[in-house]
């Protein structure tokens, strides 16, 4: 069965530091991959998505993610974190030709000044 | 932002009472989804709809029913609320396009407390 793992429940970084959030998926073929962000009390906002092509995907708010087939990973990165990036981040996988997404359990990011 | 509203935004109810949550969209998207969000579980799909009067179960559908009589509205009903249904409920929409998996857009959520 398809699944998504976000190994880090909670990450704390200093403002200005680099960030990498991990996401691993289990799926037999190339999946469609998404990263969403959820600010406190808000709904989920799409950061970026990977369908095919270039394995390095650029998103909004300065985020990027890299698809690595050999590692079944789709890690999210940002070179310099801002205090406003404090939120919860969800990775999701969409099995090919389905209408549904499978979400990871999320990583909560805390940013210290 | 996608035009998705959820009502009510907050609700407190008692065990055993029926509850209906509403999701309304102005995007004319084909697909609509109901998720629940709980700590340590991420988002789990309850039910989804792929058209008017066309619905299907998700992974946590027990105790929930849905209806979609119009493209723009998707209702989630808890027939007899239980404390285990205390959660934050999110509606999402997506459209059928050229991609095999379409992006989902989320509403602001409904926080439900069952006492």
Query: What confidence score (pLDDT) does residue B1 get?
Result: 57
Q: Are A91 and A33 in contact (CB under 8 A)?
A: yes
The C-alpha of B36 sits at a distance from chain A's nearest C-alpha, in angstroms, of 11
Are A99 and B105 in contact (CB < 8 Å)? no
Torsion of CA B90, B4, A32, A92, to 10 degrees: -20
- Tell me which of A99, A103, A107 to substitute to probe the interface with B (most B C-beta atoms closer than 10 Å): A99
**pLDDT (tens digit, 9 = 90+) per residue, A37-79?**
999 888 999 999 998 888 999 999 999 999 999 999 999 999 9
Side-chain-side CA neighbours of B60 within 13 Å: the count stands at 19
Residue B63 tokens read as 């105790």
Query: What confidence score (pLDDT) does residue A50 get?
Result: 92
For the residues A101-113, what does the mean pLDDT come to? 94
State how beta strands A73-78 and A64-68 pair.
antiparallel
For the residues A88-109, what does the mean pLDDT come to? 89
List all residues 6 or more positions away from A27 whose beta carbon is below 8 Å from its beta carbon.
Answer: A2, A72, A93, A95
Query: What confidence score (pLDDT) does residue A98 get?
Result: 72
Residue B21 tokens read as 């949550």
Are A44 and B106 in contact (CB < 8 Å)? yes
Query: What confidence score (pLDDT) does residue A2 get?
Result: 80
**pLDDT (tens digit, 9 = 90+) per residue, B91-113?**
999 987 666 677 899 999 999 99
The residue ranges of chain B whose pLDDT is under 50 are none
Query: What confidence score (pLDDT) does residue B3 get?
Result: 92
The C-alpha of A71 sits at a distance from chain B's nearest C-alpha, in angstroms, of 22
CA distance A44 to B39: 15
Are A101 and B101 in contact (CB < 8 Å)? yes
Average pLDDT over chain A reads 92
């Amino acid at each position: 069965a398809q699944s998504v793992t976000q190994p880090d429940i909670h990450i704390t970084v200093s403002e200005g530091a680099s960030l990498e959030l991990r996401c691993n998926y289990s799926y037999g073929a190339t999946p469609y991959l998404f990263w969403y962000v959820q600010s406190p009390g808000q709904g989920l906002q799409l950061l970026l998505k990977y369908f095919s092509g270039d394995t390095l995907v650029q998103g909004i708010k300065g985020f990027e993610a890299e698809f690595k087939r050999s590692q079944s990973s789709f890690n999210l990165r940002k070179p310099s974190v801002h205090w406003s990036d404090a939120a919860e981040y969800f990775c999701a996988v969409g099995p090919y030709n389905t209408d549904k997404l499978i979400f990871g359990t999320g990583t909560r990011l805390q940013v210290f000044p | 932002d996608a035009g998705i509203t959820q009502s009510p935004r907050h609700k407190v109810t008692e065990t055993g009472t029926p509850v209906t949550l509403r999701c309304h969209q102005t995007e004319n998207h084909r697909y609509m989804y109901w998720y629940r969000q709980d700590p340590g579980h991420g988002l789990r799909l309850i039910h989804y709809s792929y058209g008017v009067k066309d619905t299907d179960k998700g992974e946590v559908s027990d105790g929930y029913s849905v209806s979609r009589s119009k493209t723009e509205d998707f209702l989630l009903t808890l027939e007899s609320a239980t404390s285990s249904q205390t959660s934050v409920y999110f509606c999402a929409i997506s459209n059928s396009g050229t991609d095999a998996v379409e992006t989902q857009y989320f509403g602001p959520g409904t926080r439900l407390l069952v006492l």
